[in-house]
Amino acid sequence: MHLDKAIINKTEQLQSSLIVGDDDGGKLFTPEEYEEYKRRVLPLRMKNRLYVSFGVPGGIDCKQIGPETQCFCEHRYKQHQTEFEVIPSERPIALQCKVSGCRCSSYNYIPQPGCAMVRCKCKHLPQDHSEAAGHLCKKCKVCSGFQSPYTCGCGRPSFEHRTLVETKQERLARGQPVGKDVPYAAMGGLTGFTSLLDGYLALQVLSEGNSCCFFI
Ligand SMILES: [Zn+2]
Ligand SMILES: [Zn+2]
Ligand SMILES: [Zn+2]
Ligand SMILES: [Zn+2]
Ligand SMILES: [Zn+2]
């Protein structure tokens, strides 16, 4: 059946793009390069997986960060350093943005409720602030660093939250789910294939519709 084959091809394509993430630099790997990549990267990825979530310290996780989730710097999680050969010993673990010219020193999630851009207490937009650590405002002098007045679904103000990067052991010690070991790149805090698929479906809906929202 033609249709079955098309679905299998599509699934394989999706799967390999999830495995490679941004590591092919936008050019597709040849089948040999792909096999070599999997041999080299996957064992390390399964061992050194980092989990990324957003929440109030000591509280529940309000959001799991996935490959397409936007950072304060406007780049996606998968565009940041999401893997280490050796996990750094210092905490917090800084996941630097890999996009050239971007000064973001660590992945930092900012919730964007609905389509309205969240403004800082200084009234300026996130992009008016520096993407470098501290997130100082480039348009005014009163701002001491981006602070969103938005109240999260958990009832606490956005600025009490932090983006947490943790190892599997650290996550287990907090009693949080780690899911199954998966070969996919930049999974962040996603622990089930369902949530990943949901994210991609949402992305598709967003990019097909004329929505002004561009975050997941
Ligand atoms: Zn960036
Ligand atoms: Zn960033
Ligand atoms: Zn400002
Ligand atoms: Zn500000
Ligand atoms: Zn919250």
Q: Are strands 61-64 and 50-55 parallel, antiparallel or unpaired?
A: antiparallel
pTM as predicted:
0.83
User: Per residue in 90-148, pLDDT tens?
Assistant: 999 999 999 999 999 999 998 876 666 788 999 999 999 999 999 999 999 999 999 98
- Span from the CA of 142 to the centroid of ligand 3 (angstroms): 7
User: Per residue in 16-67, pLDDT tens?
Assistant: 888 898 888 878 899 999 999 999 999 999 899 999 999 999 888 999 998 8
- Span from the CA of 107 to the centroid of ligand 3 (angstroms): 21
Burial of 105 (0-12, 13-18, 19+ CB in 10 A): middle
Structural tokens at position 26: 């936008």
Structural tokens at position 69: 């989730």
CA atoms of 62 and 109, how far apart (whole Å): 11
Find, among 201, 216, 186, the residue nearest to 80 by Cα.
186
- Span from the CA of 131 to the centroid of ligand 1 (angstroms): 7
User: Per residue in 156-178, pLDDT tens?
Assistant: 998 899 999 999 999 999 999 89
The protein residues having their C-beta less than 5 angstroms from ligand 3 (an ion) are: 122, 124, 137, 139-140, 143
Query: What are the domain boundaries of the chain?
Result: 16-111+155-208, 113-149
- Span from the CA of 58 to the centroid of ligand 1 (angstroms): 28
- Span from the CA of 136 to the centroid of ligand 4 (angstroms): 6
Sheet holding 61-64, edge to edge: 61-64, 50-55, 162-167
